[in-house]
Structure 1
Amino acid sequence: MTHRNRPTRTFLACLGTATLLTACGAGSPEAGRPNTAPPSPSVNTQTGSPTESTATPPPSTTPSGPPTRPANANGLTLAAAEQFVRYYNTLLNYAAETGDTGPLLGASEAGCENCKSYASFVAQANVANGLIKGDYREQITDVPELYRGDSGRVGGSALVTVGAYVSQKSKSAAPRNIPAAKYKREFALSPKAGSWVMYEMKLVKQ
């Protein structure tokens, strides 16, 4: 359930400035998630060799096209802002699955650094080219904070869960095992052509 006009001090302070989130922490270059060191590989006690990582892939089918923005995510109301945040999450997952970052960047401000970092990573490493495997999809469980700032932007946070997955930056790079985790995505939205777009975001591990 979304609580309207509930202040979050860090983001509320940023919403009143022209450099939203610049001083509020940078996000991760890898799929928009905090950098985590890969866990030590497990070792087969009989052979002494590292065992292969296993990440259970989620049931999926190749999407026929990018997610369509729902009608209730149009407009500049707070209700539309919440639905946009949920829609944007589907764009993140679509980009990670296909490597197609056009729809994601089209729903982002050109200056959104973490949006571009996410897009840059998944354009190189994604499910389609075999460099992301496992339960990589982000799931929003709630949007508990949503409020307007003095600048006319909307700020807030969403609660996100991600399963365990394995990613590589390239086919020659060592796999990184990312455990299942819960995050809070702090975000700011700005108006564009009568609807919201992502102005900036960062993911904080809980």
Structure 2
Amino acid sequence: MISVLALGACSGDDPEPKVADPSPSATLPSSPSTTPVSGPVEPTMPAEARGTDAAAAEAFVKFYWEMVNYAQATGDVEGVRDLAPQCGTCDAAINYIVDVYDRGGRIEGGEGRFRHLRANFLDHEGGVRALVRGDLASAEQRVDLPGSRNDQSFPGGTLPFELLLEAGADGWTVLTMGQQ
């Protein structure tokens, strides 16, 4: 079984900031630090996902799942929530992530990638809708909660998956998602 609802890792407290002595004897660094920021970076929607054709719908699904992967890794669900404001299945997955992080846990692994995507358009009076189907390949995942009694593990694997999208003025949104 693949955990789609248990949509990676890394959470921690930021250290207490240290402020330099403001006295005139304090010396300023000669150049800014070039140490890279560690940790996941929120994905940016690619230009390819901004149209209303099949290629754009497929690119949007790939981007959406990058946002799911980011949410799992960080506990930051706002971006993925914005992409699926009416999707009940998506809400359940998002709420699971929120619950894990709120309880002091973290999600390790479980990154998913779509392969063999194909979009079909549906007749809909209200606008453009696309049903995008493909194979969702997920890595093994571990949900680590405080203590060990409530920890969960999910094997990786591949399953047929589909997302129903709707095109709007601000781009695509996810209406539903699930196994085919």
Both proteins in one fold, TM over 0.5 = yes
CA RMSD of aligned residues (A): 2.1
Could you tell me how far apart the structure 2 residues matched to 1:138 and 1:120 are?
18
Report the alpha carbon displacement of residue 68 of structure 1 after superposing the two structures with TM: 0.4
Deviations 1:152-192 (A, max 9, x none): 31112121111222115x42552122112111221100012
Is 1:147 the counterpart of 2:124 in the alignment? no
Deviation at residue 142 of structure 1 after TM alignment: 2.1
Mapped to 2, the partners of 1:101 and 1:179 lie a distance apart of 23
Matches of 2:113 and 2:176 in 1, distance apart?
A: 19
Q: In structure 1, how many angstroms separate the alpha carbons of the residues matched to 2:51 and 2:171?
A: 4
Structure 1 runs (4+) greater than 4 angstroms displaced: none
Give the AA of the match of 2:54: L
* Structure 2 CA distance for aligned equivalents of residues 30 and 70 of structure 1: 25
Other-structure match for 1:35: none
Shift of 1:141: 2.1
Q: Give the secondary-structure state (helix, strand or coil) at the position aligned to 1:75.
A: coil
Pairing 1:71–2:65 present: no
Q: Which runs of 5+ in 2 are unaligned?
A: 8-37
**1:115 paired to 2:90:** yes
Q: How does 1:46-125 map to 2 (within 5 A)?
A: 62-64=39-41, 66-108=42-84, 110-125=85-100
CA distance in 1, matches of 2:88, 2:67: 16
8 Å Cα contact 1:29-1:114 kept in structure 2: no
Q: How does 1:103-182 map to 2 (within 5 A)?
A: 103-108=79-84, 110-125=85-100, 130-133=105-108, 135-143=109-117, 145-151=118-124, 152-168=128-144, 170-172=145-147, 173-182=149-158
Q: CA deviation at 1:130?
A: 4.5
Contact map agreement 1:167 1:175 (CA 8 A) in 2 = yes
**Alignment coverage as a number of residue pairs:** 142
Distance 1:81 1:115, change over 3 A: same
Percent of aligned positions that are identical: 24
Q: 1:103 to 1:194 in 2, by over 3 A?
A: closer
Q: CA offsets, 1:187-206, max 9 Å, x none?
A: 100012152111110135xx
Q: 1:26-67 CA deviation, whole Å, 9 max, x = no partner?
A: xx88336xxxxxxxxxxxxxxxxxxxxxxxxxxxx5124x11
